[in-house]
Chains A and B, each alone.
Chain A
Amino acid sequence: MDRGLSRAQGLDIGPTIELLWWEGCPSTERAVTDLRGALDDLGLPGEIAMREIRTDEEAQAAAFAGSPTILIDGVELMEALGRGADDEPAGLNCRVYVRRDGRMSPTPDPEDLREALRGARS
């Protein structure tokens, strides 16, 4: 699908979502499930483009701060939420997210996903 053409034609194709993942971290499936759930909750169309990061070199080139890293319309999730750029060093890692109740987690808080996706629509 030509997303630019679709947008120009006024078609609702939803936000562009890219999920960067590394096989050494088992959180990918959960992250995808949560992302699809957030899209469904908001009634948004949207495809999740999966991009595997395999090497330290690829991690450096992609500024990959750990698996999963989620880009919405090209903006990293935490930046999209206005929580600043990630200070995690790039590398093959599992990423640490902080849930809204303060707990550490391998996946983002689902409410953070919904907030970022809502922001991408506005």
Chain B
Amino acid sequence: MSVAIGEHAPDFTLPDTDGEGWSLAGDGSEATVLVFTCNHCPYALAWHDRILDAARDYAESDVRFLAINANDAERYPRDSYEAMQGRVAREDWPIPYLHDPTQQVALAYGAKTTPDVFLIDAEGRLRYRGAPDSDYDDPEQRAAWLREALDAVLAGREPERPETTPVGCSIKWKR
């Protein structure tokens, strides 16, 4: 399963690290950014601050960011729900960190890596999917591809670059 650019994104309800449920639908945001991520992947960690900076910058534009961890915690204990809670408690997270223990949401979106970014507009349609920017190793990129797509969607335009190749660690699927 996966969702293509322009298609309606699948709804879901997942718990954050406080146990509060978050859904895609019915929020009323101008846009929602889903970031499939995790605790242990160096690519996810390298891009993490850039994504959080974007979340802070676009909060005033009524853009909601949701981070989702779908990795198999049995084989990768550092991606457990408890490890997620510990990380959020230690760090400054301006966005909810959701747990997808059945991996059904990651499967429904066709998420491949951490990170893998999905931008969904106010009507629930997927408008961008891929990497935050072109180089995990260059903080000056500032999640430029995601910001370009966000600016376009907020301005009522089609993103010039609606899809890029996600780069990162493979999502750790259950066996």
How many chain B residues touch A (CB < 8 A): the figure is: 17
Our pick among A24, A56, A91, A105 for the contact of B42 (Cβ within 8 Å) is A105
Q: Are B42 and A95 in contact (CB under 8 A)?
A: yes
**Residue A93 CB within 8 A of the other chain:** yes
Among B141-175, those with CB < 8 Å from A are 167-170
Query: Which A positions have Cβ atoms within 8 angstroms of B?
Result: 24-27, 56, 89, 91, 93-97, 103-107
User: Could you pull out 19 A-B pairs where Cβ atoms are within 8 angstroms?
Assistant: A24-B169, A25-B169, A25-B170, A26-B168, A56-B75, A91-B75, A93-B40, A94-B40, A94-B42, A96-B41, A96-B42, A103-B46, A104-B48, A105-B42, A105-B46, A105-B137, A106-B42, A106-B136, A107-B137
Please give me the residue from chain A that is nearest to B139 by CB atom: A103
Interchain nearest-CB distance for A104 vs B (Å): 4
Please give me the residue from chain A that is nearest to B137 by CB atom: A105
Our pick among A56, A91, A94, A105 for the contact of B169 (Cβ within 8 Å) is A94
**Residue B14 CB within 8 A of the other chain:** no
Please give me the residue from chain B that is nearest to A96 by CB atom: B42
Q: Are B76 and A94 in contact (CB under 8 A)?
A: no
Our pick among B45, B76, B136 for the contact of A96 (Cβ within 8 Å) is B45
Chain B hits for A106, CB < 8 A: 42-43, 46, 136
Chain A hits for B167, CB < 8 A: 26
Interchain nearest-CB distance for B127 vs A (Å): 25
Our pick among A25, A56, A93, A104 for the contact of B46 (Cβ within 8 Å) is A104
List 17 other contacts, CB 8 Å, given A24-B169, A94-B169. A25-B169, A25-B170, A26-B167, A26-B168, A91-B76, A93-B76, A94-B40, A94-B41, A94-B42, A97-B42, A104-B42, A104-B45, A105-B42, A106-B42, A106-B43, A106-B46, A107-B137
One digit per residue, 1 when the CB lies within 8 angstroms of any chain A CB and 0 when it does not, for chain B 68-83 equals: 0000000111000000
In the bound complex, what is the Cα–Cα distance between A94 and B113 (angstroms)? Answer: 12
Chain B hits for A94, CB < 8 A: 40-43, 169
Interchain nearest-CB distance for A65 vs B (Å): 11
Chain A hits for B136, CB < 8 A: 105-106
Interchain nearest-CB distance for A32 vs B (Å): 15
Interchain nearest-CB distance for A55 vs B (Å): 12
In the bound complex, what is the Cα–Cα distance between A46 and B41 (angstroms)? Answer: 30
Interchain nearest-CB distance for B79 vs A (Å): 10
In the bound complex, what is the Cα–Cα distance between A113 and B137 (angstroms)? Answer: 17
One digit per residue, 1 when the CB lies within 8 angstroms of any chain A CB and 0 when it does not, for chain B 112-123 equals: 000000000000
In the bound complex, what is the Cα–Cα distance between A119 and B48 (angstroms)? Answer: 33
Chain A hits for B170, CB < 8 A: 24-25
